[in-house]
Structure 1
Amino acid sequence: MDLMYFELGWQHILNWEGYDHILFVIALSAVYVVNEWKKLLVLVTAFTIGHSITLALSVLHIIRVSSSLVEFLIPVTICITALSNIFRRNEAPQHLQLNYFYALFFGLIHGLGFSNYLKSLLGSQANIVKPLLGFNIGLEFGQLLIVGVVMLISAIIVNIGRVSRRDWNMFLSSATFGVAFLMVIQGVRELLK
């Protein structure tokens, strides 16, 4: 693993200028509480697998998608995930299959968003395996930091503040949806130019 790319990966995911990926991880995390950390870890890893696949395919020039389309689709994935959280009937996720689908499939879309950044870093480098692995592990590390912060805040609000789990999910998912919806509108404007 290339440590430089590992560092670039976690710094990229935690960069406030790319807050769309942070919002998606928050949306994935919103319905979970601390004692469900294992389920959430698997979910975030499914997201990493999804974006690793398209990141590799894009860096290898096997697939190419318009960056304006990707920048539109990323907030759409956040909106869908947040809405799914809002309309969830149970407080605790009972069947994770839909969540895993969201994480894996939407990870494919998010990987295309990471690809332009990574392609610019790699340039014409011949061997991309180590940098790609380092970058992906760095992204996973950054995502786990975000999950940790969300879980800490969730524990404080739900367990100490005595806010119901459902109310916390509604607040966090609605706020995430609102920000992402504004990004969707901006993406539509960019697509129509």
Structure 2
Amino acid sequence: MQDFSLFFELGWQHILDWQGYDHILFVTALCGTYLIKDWKKILILVTAFTIGHSLTLALSIFNKILIPTVWVEFLIPVTILITTILNIINKQTIKKNINSSYWLALIFGLIHGLGFSNYLKSLMGKSNNVVAELFAFNIGLEFGQIIIVFSILILSFLLVNVIRVQKREWNLFISSAIFGISLIMAIERIP
């Protein structure tokens, strides 16, 4: 049980670490265009993302998939760019097609999971309890993502419902800001 709590803590700390802000940016871009009333849809999206990165994380840990780190590090900001572009061009953000968003989150999760794999491999070493540690780490990641999601939802609620910022303006602001940051990241990481 001690290993579970250790890897759970490592998971949520890793996701909330500002030095690895690309993951925070992606989760923010993924859920930043929704309102608090859409929390169930957002949790489905974030869970789809978690399933994707859990799958590639597991495959990578067991050496079933090996992709050069430089490509993974480049593709991560590309996924953020695509997400923000879709947010900006989508004129009806409230009525997003959850099915296509779900599949995109799952596919992008596959890419992001590869970004975690080297970090987790270095932590695990030659552990005999890989499955339990991987599970605990992924549960910790999901917990950290939920913290990000609810933080963004609270911020969106305050801006849209209290300060009365137009929802479309908030969507354009958050998506454009993340687009700019991720564009710079992608350019810096071109293989």
TM-score (norm 2): 0.97
- 1-side partners of 2:31 and 2:130: how far apart? 31
Q: Does 1:63 align with 2:58?
A: no
Runs of 4 or more above 4 Å deviation = none
Deviation at 1:98, TM superposition (A): 1.7
- 2-side partners of 1:101 and 1:57: how far apart? 19
Deviations 1:16-35 (A, max 9, x none): 01000000000101210000
- 1-side partners of 2:14 and 2:141: how far apart? 7
Question: Are the counterparts in 1 of residues 87 and 93 from structure 2 also a CA contact under 8 Å?
Answer: no
Question: 2:175 pairs with 173, 176, 181, which one?
Answer: 173
Question: Identity rate of aligned residues, in percent?
Answer: 56
Q: Does 1:130 align with 2:132?
A: yes
Q: Does 1:4 align with 2:20?
A: no
Q: Does 1:101 align with 2:103?
A: yes
Question: Are the counterparts in 2 of residues 10 and 139 from structure 1 also a CA contact under 8 Å?
Answer: yes
Deviations 1:134-175 (A, max 9, x none): 000000000000001100100000000101111101100010
- 1-side partners of 2:96 and 2:39: how far apart? 14
SS of structure 2 residue aligned to 1:181: helix
Letter in 1 for 2:55: I
Deviation at 1:93, TM superposition (A): 3.0
1:53 is matched with 55
- 1-side partners of 2:148 and 2:93: how far apart? 21
Aligned Cα root-mean-square deviation (Å): 0.8
Question: Are the counterparts in 2 of residues 31 and 93 from structure 1 also a CA contact under 8 Å?
Answer: no
Question: Are the counterparts in 2 of residues 52 and 111 from structure 1 also a CA contact under 8 Å?
Answer: yes
- 2-side partners of 1:139 and 1:127: how far apart? 18
Deviation at 1:58, TM superposition (A): 0.2
Deviations 1:78-136 (A, max 9, x none): 00000000000213133112211111000000000010100000001122111000000
Counterparts of 1:17-166 in structure 2, within 5 Å, are 17-166=19-168
- Runs of 5+ consecutive residues of structure 1 not aligned to the other structure: none
Aligned residues: 189
- Runs of 5+ consecutive residues of structure 2 not aligned to the other structure: none
- 1-side partners of 2:72 and 2:82: how far apart? 15
